[in-house]
Chain A
Amino acid sequence: MRRGLMAWDPQEVPASALADRLARLRAELAREGVDVFVAYTNIARGGSVWWLTGFTPYWNEGLLYAPAQGEMVFATALSKRVAEWISSVMPAGEVTTTPRPSAFIGEHIARDGAKRIGILELDDFPAGHAQAILQAAPGVELVDVTEAFARARNDSDAVERLLLTKADALAQAACGAVDVSSAHARDFIAPAESVARLGGAEECFTLVAGDLRSSRAFVRTDSMGSLGETFAARVSLAYKGAWTRHVRSFAKDAGVQQSMDRAHAALMDFSLQSGETLAQAVARTFGSLGEVNNWVAEQPRGSYPLAPVANMAESAQGFTASAPFVLDVELVTDGRRWVGARMIGL
């Protein structure tokens, strides 16, 4: 539930950058013989609509319709009074509030005479909305255009990189604000939430792995207990819709903390060199510190703001080396589990 700062700054996100993205998508759709494009959005799956419009609904759901030409249409079940506010923070597309957004989009499709309807992530598209579109626009064909969207979004443009840079700085600051002297994990992590949101985070998920000796599972505040000898903070946040994560490990003992800091410094120095695979880069960076148990790389994928695109077992599931990514690493250093994550490639 988005409740942090949501505002559009034309300096940060010029409308022209969004127009360029739409043009790239339309070119890819045309190659596939698709007439129009529809994407679904909610707070969990806001990535694609955000990329095209700069907006994620703070609540509820919506559908974005991109005709072959002309203005996009964003239809949402949020209340009528909210339309004006959405327009003020969404630099691209016309906003309509309606209890039946998919029927509204279906009627648009029928009016436009489109036949092949490109749906992002058709398998995951809500069945009720698909049915409403098919009822309002009988005879159309729903086509999965996930790959076409991925090609259009292939790399991060300068606008996205700027937002990610700000998000990354916030996430780092938030992780650095934790109260290591706390006995309880909730008190340890609460300052991170404050720093992130004071810095303008639109959303922030703060989790803790309270005792790295027993588990690396990051839990929410309702499941947290006291802190063990070594523990970690995980801050996932969005700044103006751009998501990143930062994970940092801590120790109660100063000597152990030095060991954790060495691994953290290695993570901060991590870079992917030309011609090098992710696996090679991880081995080069962390090999001298201990045994790497696991690593995962995440990038935006379709409607998912961040999703795994490579890991230790499967080195490339869709990883784009030229785009920024979150690298999450787990290793055993000096006999203790260490976990860390940060955005790479900004």
Chain B
Amino acid sequence: MSKEALAARQGALKEAMKSENVEVLVLFGNNWHADHLRYATDFGIQEGQGIALVRDDGSITLILDDPAECERARSDSTCETIFAPALVQEAKRQLSRAGNHNIAAAPYHLLPYGLLHGDKDLRVTDGAKIVERLLMTKMEVEIAAVRKAAALADEGYAIFRQAARPGRKDYELVAEMESFFRANGVPENFMIVGVGGQEVRGMAPPGGKILKKGDMVTTELTPCFDGYYAQICRTLVVGEPSEAQRQAFAVYLEAMEAGIATVRAGVTAADVARAENDVFRKYGLGEYVTSEYTRVRGHGMGLFPDQKPAILEDVNITLQTGMTLIVHPNTYHPAVGYLVLGDSLVVRESGHELLCGTPRELFSVPLQ
């Protein structure tokens, strides 16, 4: 990302630290939860673990426990970077050297045990209050990156549709997607798939299923640009969709559009989920919006592909301008199996900005 954009992020972090009277912020990350570390350093960690020490004077030290990652960080990031196979010990040493500061850390529950316990316990408080709001509510420069990621998701889905044909294995579709994304500069993509019919209860990594006539093929693609993720969920049918598949899809389309129409600053995540779920309930499918059949009805996205707020009827986080979300009423349908549909968007003052441009269709791919 541009130096200006990173500076804006680091400035926002510094302000948030100041308002919470925090002198050192400890940010922990790995390839699963890379978001906190990336926010401060712009380094997208791939292997091993890392800790960034963000000080109130604006200086940042990045400590990594993998030597090749350290070389990459020195090439990619402007932060002081230290290679330390004993990550926790090095972080403790750095923090002890800095004296008895007000230290906060995030994500707190993932913080290494050894950093908080040992010969001389450090007093570290939960820094969620400092970081979470920044991760959820994006600046325009961050939204621009999510917008580009959404465009890549659209392009990616077009490739996915071309790749899906009878006789191919599910992981071969992933191979085409990943090759396309690498060629287009996308280093990471969260992607799961489902192939089959009524027996399919959800999506998972591919297991070697061979696509055949009548199968529904579901996927969520989640490429990133400059570290920011955007997602698209679509379903296609191998051959012509059956009437049952068309009727089922119509419910999901109505639910997604009801959810998206609800999105604006000031409503809660629960309001959006309720709008989606009411459509299912209207058609007698209320059972299928419970945790037996579905996880969430959408979620936030940003430097983490599945961040707060979860779109659920019991989540009362208020949506704010600048949040980026996907609304997806993905769930099991008793007649046809697991079906997905979802678009990424930005929450705006009086509504939303839609980021995905792929038609909201139940796609069909030819048998030949």
Known A-B contacts A193-B175, A217-B71, A223-B75; the reply to A123 vs B88 at CB < 8 A is: yes
Contact B112 A126 (CB under 8 A): yes
Known A-B contacts A193-B179, A217-B72; the reply to A123 vs B112 at CB < 8 A is: yes
| In the complex, chain B residues whose CB is within 8 Å of the CB of A223 | 75-76
A207 vs B115: C-alpha distance when bound (angstroms): 31
Which 8 residue pairs of A and B lie closest in terms of their CB atoms, listed nearest first?
A: A128-B109, A123-B114, A197-B175, A194-B179, A44-B30, A190-B183, A220-B187, A217-B75
A191 vs B75: C-alpha distance when bound (angstroms): 24
| In the complex, chain A residues whose CB is within 8 Å of the CB of B88 | 123-124
Contact B109 A127 (CB under 8 A): yes
| Cβ-based interface call for B202 (8 A) | yes
B-binding segment of A53-61, A65-73, A156-164: A53-61
Q: Contacting B178 at CB < 8 Å: which of A43, A142, A204?
A: A204
| In the complex, chain A residues whose CB is within 8 Å of the CB of B72 | 207, 217-220
Measured CB to CB, the nearest residue on chain B to A220 is: B187
Measured CB to CB, the nearest residue on chain A to B172 is: A198
Q: Contacting B179 at CB < 8 Å: which of A84, A191, A207?
A: A191
Contact B190 A127 (CB under 8 A): no
A304 vs B31: C-alpha distance when bound (angstroms): 12
Q: Residues of A at under 8 Å CB distance from B?
A: 1-7, 42-45, 58-61, 79-82, 84-85, 88-89, 122-130, 142, 186-187, 189-191, 193-194, 196-198, 200, 202, 204-207, 215-224, 234, 236, 296, 304, 306-308, 311, 317
Measured CB to CB, the nearest residue on chain A to B225 is: A222
Measured CB to CB, the nearest residue on chain A to B50 is: A44
Q: How far is the CB of A61 from chain B (nearest CB, A)?
A: 7
* In the complex, chain B residues 83-97 whose Cβ is within 8 Å of any chain A Cβ: 85, 87-89
Contact A5 B111 (CB under 8 A): no
| Cβ-based interface call for B226 (8 A) | yes
* In the complex, chain B residues 127-154 whose Cβ is within 8 Å of any chain A Cβ: none
Measured CB to CB, the nearest residue on chain A to B75 is: A217
| Cβ-based interface call for B188 (8 A) | yes
Can you list 22 A-B pairs with a CB-CB distance of less than 8 A? A1-B189, A3-B192, A4-B206, A6-B207, A42-B30, A81-B292, A81-B294, A81-B295, A88-B207, A124-B49, A127-B108, A127-B111, A127-B117, A186-B183, A191-B179, A193-B182, A198-B172, A219-B72, A221-B182, A221-B186, A308-B85, A317-B85
Q: Residues of B at under 8 Å CB distance from A?
A: 30-32, 44-49, 66-68, 71-72, 74-76, 85, 87-89, 108-117, 171-172, 174-176, 178-192, 201-202, 204-208, 225-226, 291-295, 305, 332
A176 vs B38: C-alpha distance when bound (angstroms): 32
Measured CB to CB, the nearest residue on chain A to B1 is: A222
Q: Contacting B204 at CB < 8 Å: which of A58, A202, A216?
A: A58
Contact B46 A220 (CB under 8 A): yes
Q: Is chain A's binding surface mostly helix, strand, loop or mixed?
A: mixed
Contact B190 A221 (CB under 8 A): no
Q: Contacting B226 at CB < 8 Å: which of A89, A222, A236, A307?
A: A222
Contact B75 A221 (CB under 8 A): no
| In the complex, chain B residues whose CB is within 8 Å of the CB of A189 | 182
Q: How far is the CB of B66 from chain A (nearest CB, A)?
A: 8
| In the complex, chain A residues whose CB is within 8 Å of the CB of B71 | 216-218
| In the complex, chain A residues whose CB is within 8 Å of the CB of B295 | 79, 81
| In the complex, chain A residues whose CB is within 8 Å of the CB of B30 | 42-45
A84 vs B338: C-alpha distance when bound (angstroms): 15
Known A-B contacts A125-B112, A126-B112, A221-B186; the reply to A205 vs B191 at CB < 8 A is: no
A137 vs B346: C-alpha distance when bound (angstroms): 44
A44 vs B109: C-alpha distance when bound (angstroms): 17
| In the complex, chain B residues whose CB is within 8 Å of the CB of A84 | 201
Known A-B contacts A124-B49, A217-B72; the reply to A82 vs B32 at CB < 8 A is: no
Measured CB to CB, the nearest residue on chain B to A196 is: B175
| In the complex, chain B residues whose CB is within 8 Å of the CB of A129 | 109
A129 vs B191: C-alpha distance when bound (angstroms): 27
Contact A125 B172 (CB under 8 A): no
Known A-B contacts A80-B291, A125-B113; the reply to A197 vs B182 at CB < 8 A is: no
Contact B67 A296 (CB under 8 A): yes
